[in-house]
Amino acid sequence: MSAVSRVFVLNGPNLGRLGSREPDVYGATSYAGLVQACQELGKELGFDVEVRETNDEGELIRWLHEAADGSIPVVLNPGAFTHYSYGMRDAAAQRTAPLIEVHISNPYTREEFRHTSVVAAVASGTIAGFGIGSYLLALRALAEERDA
């Protein structure tokens, strides 16, 4: 395994409300539980994982710029920005390291407006529908790509 490297786990709107927001869709794990799970697995995989959440589109775009400038891999759950934020999509397209789009639920089993992702075409890949496990699968994918 290579030296410890940084990974950003970036979350868009309403993800800070995990555990209380529609638990039948998003599960019972709290946002703090998500942070802990990502950081613990990241440590096992040799990553320094920084988990961030914002309800502000501009802030998320700035974080994607920071990742691009630093060649930092990203696990991105854009939340509702997935479906319409072309500014975020353009920032994600500037990536200089892998970027994996994740979703807790499977957008294709939900309302039709959720079936379109403006991010998917510029992401390295998309993982959806595995609850909090989607993030863990993404971290494992980053480790496999790093070690390949």
**Would you say the C-alpha torsion 148, 44, 136, 80 has a positive or negative sign?**
negative
Confirm whether residue 114 is marked as ligand binding. yes
Per-residue model confidence as pLDDT tens digits over 4-38: 699 999 999 888 776 666 656 555 678 999 999 99
Neighbours of 145 (CB within 10 A): 14
Domains within the chain, CATH numbers bracketed? 5-147 (3.40.50.9100)
In the annotation, is 84 catalytic?
A: no
Per-residue model confidence as pLDDT tens digits over 28-74: 678 999 999 999 999 999 999 999 999 999 999 999 999 999 999 99
The model's pTM? 0.89
CA distance 96 to 114: 27
In the annotation, is 103 catalytic?
A: yes
- Annotated catalytic residue within 31, 65, 86, 103: 103
Amino acid code (one letter) for 8: F
Which residues 6+ apart lie within 8 Å of 61 measured at CB?
87, 88, 91
